[in-house]
């Protein structure tokens, strides 16, 4: 477990003091409240001065009496600990709140929800799932929040069947609401999520070579969201497995037309299909056309590769040099130097360009900034869907 930071302890120290002052303020209404700070408070202070942060944390937590006035302080402190990665301590705080029989049900339910978040953060998904299912039964007020978290649990455990059932029930609720631009946007968001669940299930089946079932799942994904290219890519791969190459080509062509920026994600299968059909030469005019619409360094690099595959090295270099002139990136520079390697007398120049290009992440999330070398439909950082893109590098 991470050592609690001094700042965190200072915050808790203040929280205890604030809690005690609030408790005193409440004493006019409730004579049972003690007029002096609890002894644990002084004990905690001593631990803090002695540098024993763990013990200080425990003492402060115990010193902060739980009542209706200090409840929010406990909740805030618990969630602060969780966000700092000190999940064990957050769990202790929220479990201690749940053990107070005198707390009103609404506050207990809130603590219940926080504890579920702690379990998710700790990777204890089974326990989080049970807590959230209980909370959905117990509290109408927290039902929507609990369902959102439960979806996170199903996604993290890759339980797409349960995720879909829950998503469909959320969609039903959204559609039952009064029609407004907000409710429509919400319903569309749920439908896109349902499409992603179908695609995830389809890819799991694809890995087991259950082609027919995988195709059914992908087709259902498309029914939920006909703007997504993911189902087309899955179905194209299945087409290839089943020998329906022309059908695969048509699907990939329409995916490329809908989302040219995603071509690098399926260029390998696209090239395989084109080679098998003897259509490879069609890729040059296709990619050139997209590049004409939008100067994308990734597409430019792909186009250069296609020229190279046809032995048209001079045109490949020309297209890269043009890119370096308009929108230079380290990847294009590396490609140019590779092509000119015979003319570059110092090999360390080429090595340096390679290093520079490799140092930069291939993918970046537009929402949370997660970056890495592999593509994911769901961002591993923020769990949003379809937010990873290839930055110009
Ligand atoms: Zn993200």
Q: 111-166, pLDDT tens digit by residue?
A: 999 999 999 999 999 999 999 999 999 999 999 999 999 999 999 999 999 999 99
Asked whether residue 375 is domain-assigned, the answer is yes
Q: Which of 165, 199, 218 is the last residue of a domain?
A: 165
- Cα(12) to ligand 1 centroid in Å equals 31
CATH of the domain at 142: 1.25.40.10
- Cα(382) to ligand 1 centroid in Å equals 4
Residue 341 DSSP class = T
Residue 281 DSSP class = G
- Dist. CA 280–CA 302, nearest whole Å: 13
Asked whether residue 387 is domain-assigned, the answer is yes
Structure tokens at 301: 């690099």
Q: Which domain holds residue 86?
A: 6-165
- Cα(266) to ligand 1 centroid in Å equals 21
Asked whether residue 240 is domain-assigned, the answer is no
Asked whether residue 325 is domain-assigned, the answer is no
- Cα(142) to ligand 1 centroid in Å equals 26
Asked whether residue 97 is domain-assigned, the answer is yes
Q: Which of 110, 142, 165 is the last residue of a domain?
A: 165
Phi, psi of 2 (to 5 degrees): -70, 145
pLDDT tens digit string along 184-204? 888 999 999 999 999 999 999
pLDDT tens digit string along 318-342? 998 888 888 888 888 888 877 777 7
* Domain total in the chain: 2
Pairing assessment for the beta strands 388-389 and 363-365 based on DSSP bridges:
antiparallel
- Cα(300) to ligand 1 centroid in Å equals 26
Structure tokens at 344: 């570059």
- Cα(201) to ligand 1 centroid in Å equals 21
- The pLDDT mean for the chain works out to 85
Q: Which of 166-180, 349-363, 364-378 has the lowest mean pLDDT?
A: 349-363
- Cα(156) to ligand 1 centroid in Å equals 15
pLDDT tens digit string along 15-48? 666 655 555 544 444 444 444 556 666 777 777 6
- Cα(126) to ligand 1 centroid in Å equals 24
Averaged pLDDT for residues 169-176: 89
Residues 6+ apart with CB under 8 A from 61: 12, 77, 89, 92, 93, 96
- Cα(184) to ligand 1 centroid in Å equals 24
Residues 6+ apart with CB under 8 A from 5: 53, 84
Neighbours of 306 (CB within 10 A): 24
Asked whether residue 211 is domain-assigned, the answer is no
- Cα(203) to ligand 1 centroid in Å equals 21
Contact between residue 287 and residue 299 where contact means Cβ atoms under 8 Å apart: yes
Asked whether residue 25 is domain-assigned, the answer is yes
pLDDT at residue number 80: 85
Q: Which of 165, 194, 221 is the last residue of a domain?
A: 165
The neighbouring-strand residues paired with 389 are: 364
- Cα(387) to ligand 1 centroid in Å equals 7
Asked whether residue 196 is domain-assigned, the answer is no
- Dist. CA 20–CA 36, nearest whole Å: 8
Q: How far is CA 358 from the centre of its chain?
A: 24
pLDDT tens digit string along 201-251? 999 999 999 999 999 999 999 999 999 999 999 999 999 999 999 999 999
């Amino acid at each position: 477990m991470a050592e609690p930071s001094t700042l965190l302890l200072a915050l808790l120290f203040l929280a205890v003091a604030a809690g005690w002052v609030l408790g005193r303020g409440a004493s006019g209404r409730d004579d049972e409240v003690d007029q002096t700070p609890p002894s644990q408070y002084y004990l905690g202070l001593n631990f803090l001065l002695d540098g024993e942060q763990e013990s200080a944390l425990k003492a402060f937590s115990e010193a902060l009496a739980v009542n209706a006035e200090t409840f929010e302080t406990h909740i805030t402190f618990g969630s602060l600990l969780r966000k700092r990665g000190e999940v064990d301590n957050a769990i202790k705080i929220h479990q201690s709140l749940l053990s107070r029989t005198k707390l009103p049900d609404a506050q207990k339910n809130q603590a219940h929800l926080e504890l579920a978040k702690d379990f998710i953060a700790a990777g204890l998904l089974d326990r989080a799932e049970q807590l959230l299912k209980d909370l959905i039964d117990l509290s109408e007020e927290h039902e929507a929040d609990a369902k959102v978290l439960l979806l996170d649990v199903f996604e993290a455990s890759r339980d797409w069947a349960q995720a879909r059932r829950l998503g469909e029930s959320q969609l039903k609720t959204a559609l039952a609401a009064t029609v407004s631009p907000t409710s429509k946007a919400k319903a569309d968001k749920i439908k896109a999520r349902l499409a992603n669940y179908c695609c995830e299930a389809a890819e799991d089946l694809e890995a087991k070579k259950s082609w027919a079932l995988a195709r059914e799942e992908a087709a259902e994904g498309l029914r939920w969201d006909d703007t997504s290219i993911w189902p087309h890519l899955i179905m194209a791969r299945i087409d290839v497995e089943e020998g329906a190459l022309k059908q695969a080509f048509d699907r990939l062509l329409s995916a490329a037309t809908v989302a040219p920026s995603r071509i690098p994600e399926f260029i390998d299968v696209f090239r395989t299909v084109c080679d098998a059909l003897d259509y490879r030469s069609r890729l040059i005019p296709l990619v050139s056309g997209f590049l004409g619409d939008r100067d994308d360094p990734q597409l430019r690099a792909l186009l250069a590769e296609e020229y190279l595959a046809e032995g048209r090295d001079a045109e490949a270099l020309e297209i890269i040099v043009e890119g370096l002139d308009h929108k230079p990136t380290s990847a294009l520079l590396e490609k140019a130097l590779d092509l000119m390697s015979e003319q570059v007398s110092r090999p360390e120049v080429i090595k340096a360009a390679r290093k520079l290009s490799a140092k930069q992440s291939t993918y970046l999330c537009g929402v949370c900034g997660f970056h890495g070398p592999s593509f994911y439909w769901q961002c591993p950082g923020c769990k949003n869907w379809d937010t990873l893109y290839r930055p110009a590098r």
